[in-house]
Amino acid sequence: MRKSKVLAKIRAGKVARIFCMSFAQGMVPSMAAHFHYDGIWVDAEHRVWDPREVDAMIGRHYAADIDCIWRPPTKEKNALYRLLEDGATGIMVPHVSTPDQAKSLVQAMKFPPLGDRGFDGGGRDASFWFGAPKDYIEQANRETFLVAQIETPEALNNVDAIAAVPGVDVLFIGPGDLSLRLGCTPSVNDPTMMEAQKKVAAAARHHGIAWGRPVGSADDARVIIGIGALFVAFGSEFVAMSHQMTTCSAQFDELLSEVGGNPIPIPNSTSKSY
């Protein structure tokens, strides 16, 4: 069974590098692996994915040997463990606000005795049965992980109890939702957000699990790593495309202003009539 690179980093006390992907772009897993990312958080909460795209994208992660951390649009039990059968290494669940919700997710994702995941054994995670290790159940529990998103004041109030649930591996702040509800900005340095980050960090540290959040710069990453974050999402194809378009559009504006919007003559050109 494939070993989780994210969990290996976290268990060694090192920072796991996470990339974010929103759309079905087949080259991203291989590119992210090439650039030394440990996992990709795939957003299916706010983006629509066809079931066949889901299977194909998880398969591309498997082929690139990079963790696929799927954020689904549902908390439904069978849908969650089917993602693990397809080969997802982690599942990131939005709006986990109570320990009972966290326990329900563990029940869906982990085999007995820790949880109540349904057994099939014929999925990609078990090498379609033919290459499944004898201790597949134990390995599946050990090499897959649950990321509980802390996105509400209720979750913040319950964060220590959520972190205490066996089977919760990562607490992940959703800065957009959390800042919206706390009445602050999502900046890592906003005083209210900093207080929330430190509270989540303390809960993670107390229970020996990891925590993190998305960041937009190396300076932001430095701040959260400084208070103990080990699951750091830095970089996304959505932002990369936006930055590239911003740069190219500005260069287009500059270029076209130089020529007054008129075509640049091509030296020694000849016109042809057809």
Rounded distance, CA 95 to CA 83, Å? 19
Q: What is the mean pLDDT of the chain?
A: 93
Domains of the chain: 5-144+215-249 (3.20.20.60)
Predicted local confidence at residue 271, as pLDDT: 54
Predicted local confidence at residue 1, as pLDDT: 84
Query: Is the pLDDT score of 265 beyond 80?
Result: no
Higher-confidence position of 45 and 270: 45
Return the closest-CA partner of residue 27 out of 5, 50, 67, 60: 60
β-pair type (67-71, 90-93): parallel
Position 160 confidence tier, pLDDT thresholds 50, 70, 90: very high
CA 189 from chain center: how many Å? 22
β-pair type (145-150, 168-173): parallel
Q: Please give the helix or strand (H or E) that residue 165 lies within, else none.
A: none
Structure tokens at 1: 């069974």
* Known catalytic membership, residue 243: no
Catalytic residue among 34, 36, 46, 207: 46
Query: Is the pLDDT score of 270 beyond 60?
Result: no
Predicted local confidence at residue 81, as pLDDT: 96
Q: Where are the alpha helices (H) located in the chain, listed in sequence order?
A: 5-11, 28-34, 51-64, 77-86, 99-109, 136-143, 153-157, 159-163, 175-182, 191-207, 218-226, 237-258
